[in-house]
Amino acid sequence: MNNQKVQIFDTTLRDGEQVPGCKLNTEQKLVIARRLEELGVDVIEAGFPVSSPGDFSSVEAISKVVQNATVCALTRAVKEDIEVAAKALKYAKKPRIHTGIGTSDSHIKYKFNASREEIIERAAEAITYARTFVDDVEFYAEDAGRTDNEFLAKVCSEAIRAGATVLNIPDTTGYCLPEEYGAKIKYLTENVIGIERAILSCHCHNDLGLATANSIAGVINGARQIECTINGIGERAGNTALEEVVMILRQHPNLGLDTNINSKLLYETSRLVSESMGMFVQPNKAIVGANAFAHSSGIHQDGVIKNRETYEIIDPTDVGVTESAIVLTARSGRAALAYRAKKIGYELTKLQLDIVYLEFLKFADRKKEVIDGDVHQIIKISNIGILI
């Protein structure tokens, strides 16, 4: 099957950087932007230039160094925002302005105190204005997740008419169920006038832990861009995690979808973002967490030692992790102990292993994890005639 491409729009430096405590300076942003380009992302959302002089300078600096990816800047549907974004993107080889407005009844009433017609008008005006600066304009219908589909299709049709090249359908509050979000995208592919001239984009937040599932439902139903961040960082519970959607598409080739991402750089990129932002990655985080390829129960360890595929669906080297880890704990079995002992230089006979294993269990019950130094000591006190 010929895989269709899903564009990866990385917003680590915009939606991700909005997280309290994650602020980066321009130098740090440049390092990450270069790495994102190496990773193979199609679009780098570099910032929101009107928000501060620092953000303006970062978007400008990133525009100067990025060679292949599109560099994108966020704006509200406000003329000044668009002018400032265009200025910050002046040096970009492939500039994109990302403009938009809230479309849910709640946003229309409480944020804008406007009517649906006025919202459409403001959206179209902003897009038309942005098109006077750049050819590539992405429109976001903020809170599209809670916007009724018929009105959303109307807004999107007008956005395309005004010149939008990409339609971003954000589930801003992380409210949708995957079936619901997928159906929304399908409805738009069938009801938006001129949809063949635009790409639909998924931008899903993780308030109910469904961001990744929703983005995948979106591309299965016709979207061809996913907006995501490294490690899933972003407002509140975060955004769709880049590493997750990339590996889901790769592990399920029957979907017929793939990205340009060099997955071997995923782990390193996750470390870089985590360290630069001082944002710890939870150990059980899919793909890049410290335990993502670590096995600690005896049954699993025995299986993995016999054949990695018994308990792993991804080869760790495919995402840049050197090897699976066999972690020794009180739940580990003889196979794991023998495996570790061999790694550090002891070839134990079955009888020796039985004796050492009894000592090991006493030790492991007192410690969370048994490390190499402990194994040396356990073998020594087991008195099995091996000289240390």
Binding site for ligand KIV (CB under 6 A): 15, 140, 142, 168, 170, 172, 203, 205
Among Zn ion, ligand KIV, none, partner that 215 touches (CB below 5 to 8 angstroms by kind): none
- How far is C-alpha 368 from the chain's CA centre? 31
Q: Nearest distance from residue 146's CB to ligand KIV, in Å? A: 11
**What is 150-212 written as a DSSP string?**
HHHHHHHHHHHHHT-SEEEEEETTS---HHHHHHHHHHHHHHSTTGGGSEEEEEEB-TTS-HH
Alpha helices (runs of H) in the chain, residue ranges in sequence order: 26-39, 53-65, 79-88, 105-106, 116-131, 149-162, 178-191, 211-220, 242-251, 266-277, 298-306, 334-343, 350-366, 372-381
Between 15 and 244, CB nearer to ligand KIV: 15
Q: Nearest distance from residue 295's CB to ligand KIV, in Å? A: 37
Among ligand KIV, Zn ion, none, partner that 99 touches (CB below 5 to 8 angstroms by kind): none
Query: Any bridge partners for residue 367, and if so which?
Result: none
Q: Which residues bind Zn ion (CB under 5 A)?
A: 15
Q: Nearest distance from residue 219's CB to Zn ion, in Å? A: 18
Q: Nearest distance from residue 261's CB to ligand KIV, in Å? A: 21
Between 5 and 236, CB nearer to Zn ion: 236
Q: Nearest distance from residue 45's CB to ligand KIV, in Å? A: 9
Q: How far apart are CA 17 and CA 103, in angstroms?
A: 24
Between 17 and 142, CB nearer to ligand KIV: 142
Side chain identity at residue 67, one-letter code: Q
Among Zn ion, ligand KIV, none, partner that 140 touches (CB below 5 to 8 angstroms by kind): ligand KIV
Q: Nearest distance from residue 353's CB to Zn ion, in Å? A: 54
Q: How far apart are CA 258 and CA 255, in angstroms?
A: 9
Q: Nearest distance from residue 243's CB to Zn ion, in Å? A: 18
Q: How far apart are CA 38 and CA 276, in angstroms?
A: 17
Q: How far apart are CA 165 and CA 135, in angstroms?
A: 8
Between 95 and 234, CB nearer to ligand KIV: 234
- Which pair of tokens denotes residue 184? 């929304």
Between 141 and 273, CB nearer to ligand KIV: 141
Between 155 and 314, CB nearer to ligand KIV: 155
Between 174 and 316, CB nearer to ligand KIV: 174
Among ligand KIV, Zn ion, none, partner that 201 touches (CB below 5 to 8 angstroms by kind): none
